[in-house]
C-alpha cells in the first residue's frame, strides 16, 4: 500500500482510505461481521485511514467501526465528522461551540476511544461564526481529544477566511472521475498551503463500481433514489443520479471499462488509480463492505496511468457529452 504525507501533519496516510458511510445504512443490508473482517483485512494490507461520521446512521457507522477496531485502535487513523443532521436547527447544521463539545464526546463513546485523529466539520454552518467553531476545535486539540482538524465542503474563499481565524490541517471534498470541481480552486489552494486533501466519493457513489446496468433502478430504501430528499445538496448528486443521468453515465463507465481492461484492471481500479494520482490528493476515500472489496481497492495502486490513458479517459467523457466539472458549487444557494 502506498502511503503519503497528510499535508503538514507529519502523519503518513494510505493513498486509499476506508469509507464507512455504507455501514451506517442507506445502501441496503450490510453484513456487520463481514464489515468487521474487512476492517481487519484493510489494516493487514496497509490501509490505515478509516472515515466515518456521526451523521452516518445517527452514529451507527461510528459504533460499527469502533467494534471492528477493538484491540487494534493504535494501528488506525480515525477520521470522523460532526456539524450536520440536527433536526433542532433550521438548516440542520450546527457549528456552535456547545455542539462541538457534545458531539466529540458522543463520537468518542461510540468509537470506544479517547481521541480521534481527524475531526471534521462535515458541512459549513454559516449561521455560526467560523471563529467560534474553530476556537472550540482548538480546545479539543489542546485537550487531547483530537489530533487534527478538517473542514469538509467549504468553498475556497471560506477556506482562506478560516485560515486567518484558526487552525485546520485537512480539507475533505468530493473528487472522482465524474466530479472534478475541486481541481480548479480547492486542490490548488490545499497544495499551496500544505493542507492535506481527502477526496470522498471516489467511485461516484457506486457508478464507478462497474456493477450498474444502464436500466438500473435504485430500491426505495436507497438514498440515491430519493431525489426529493437531496435538498440543498442536490448539485452534488443530480449530475450522477438525476433523471436520465444513470443511463448516460453507465455508458461512460462501459467505455472506461475497456480502457481499464487494457492493463488487466477493473473500472473501479481505474477510477481509484486516477483519483489517487491527482496532484495534491493525500488519499481517496472509498466505501468498503467486504474483504473482497478491500483487496480490489488495494490492487488499484499496483500500476500507473500514462498520458495516453488519461487522454483516452477524457475523450470518453467528451464523446458522451458528460461534463465532469459541473458549473455550480456542490450545494444550492452558495
Active site amino acids = 56
The shares of helix, strand and coil residues in the chain, as percent rounded to the nearest 5, are 45, 15, 40
311 φ/ψ angles, rounded to the nearest 5 degrees: -65, -40
Contact predicate 8/264, CB 8 Å: no
How many helices (DSSP H) and strands (DSSP E) are in the chain? 11, 10
The three cell numbers locating residue 279: 496532484
Cα distances (Å, whole numbers) of residue 200 to 51, 90, 197, 225: 9, 26, 10, 20
Handedness of CA 222, 226, 231, 232 (dihedral sign): positive
Centre a 10 Å sphere on the Cβ of residue 116 and count the other Cβ atoms it contains. 23
Q: Using CA atoms, how far apart are residues 321 and 129, in angstroms rounded to an integer?
A: 41
174 φ/ψ angles, rounded to the nearest 5 degrees: -65, 140
Cα distances (Å, whole numbers) of residue 144 to 140, 150, 161, 174, 201: 6, 16, 25, 29, 30
Amino acid at each position: 500500500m502506498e502511503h503519503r504525507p497528510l499535508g503538514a501533519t507529519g502523519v503518513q496516510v494510505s493513498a486509499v482510505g476506508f469509507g464507512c458511510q455504507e455501514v451506517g445504512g442507506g445502501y441496503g443490508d450490510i453484513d456487520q461481521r463481514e464489515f468487521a473482517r474487512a476492517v481487519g483485512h484493510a489494516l493487514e494490507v496497509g490501509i490505515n485511514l478509516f472515515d466515518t461520521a456521526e451523521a452516518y446512521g445517527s452514529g451507527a457507522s461510528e459504533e460499527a467501526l469502533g467494534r471492528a477496531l477493538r484491540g487494534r485502535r493504535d494501528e488506525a487513523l480515525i477520521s470522523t465528522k460532526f456539524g450536520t443532521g440536527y433536526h433542532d436547527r433550521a438548516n440542520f447544521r450546527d457549528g456552535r461551540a456547545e455542539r462541538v463539545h457534545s458531539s466529540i464526546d458522543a463520537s468518542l463513546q461510540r468509537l470506544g476511544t479517547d481521541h480521534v485523529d481527524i475531526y471534521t466539520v462535515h458541512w459549513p454552518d454559516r449561521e455560526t461564526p467560523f471563529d467560534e467553531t474553530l476556537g472550540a476545535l482548538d480546545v479539543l486539540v489542546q485537550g487531547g481529544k483530537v489530533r487534527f482538524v478538517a473542514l469538509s465542503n467549504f468553498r475556497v474563499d471560506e477556506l482562506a477566511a478560516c485560515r486567518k481565524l484558526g487552525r485546520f490541517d485537512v480539507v475533505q471534498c468530493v473528487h472522482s472521475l465524474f466530479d472534478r470541481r475541486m481541481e480548479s480552486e480547492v486542490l490548488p489552494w490545499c497544495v499551496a498551503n500544505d493542507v492535506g486533501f481527502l477526496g470522498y466519493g471516489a467511485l461516484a457513489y457506486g457508478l464507478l463500481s462497474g456493477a450498474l446496468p444502464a436500466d438500473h433502478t435504485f430500491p426505495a430504501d436507497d438514498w440515491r433514489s430519493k431525489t426529493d430528499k437531496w435538498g440543498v445538496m442536490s448539485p452534488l448528486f443530480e449530475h450522477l443520479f438525476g433523471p436520465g443521468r444513470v443511463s448516460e453515465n453507465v455508458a461512460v463507465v462501459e467505455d472506461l471499462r475497456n480502457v481499464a481492461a487494457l492493463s488487466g484492471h477493473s473500472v473501479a481500479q481505474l477510477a481509484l488509480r486516477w483519483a489517487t494520482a491527482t496532484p495534491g490528493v493525500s488519499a481517496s476515500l472509498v466505501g468498503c463492505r467486504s474483504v473482497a472489496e478491500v483487496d480490489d481497492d488495494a490492487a488499484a495502486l499496483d500500476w500507473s496511468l500514462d498520458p495516453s490513458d488519461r487522454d483516452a479517459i477524457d475523450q470518453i467523457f467528451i464523446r458522451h457529452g458528460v461534463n465532469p466539472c459541473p458549473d455550480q458549487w456542490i450545494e444550492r444557494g452558495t
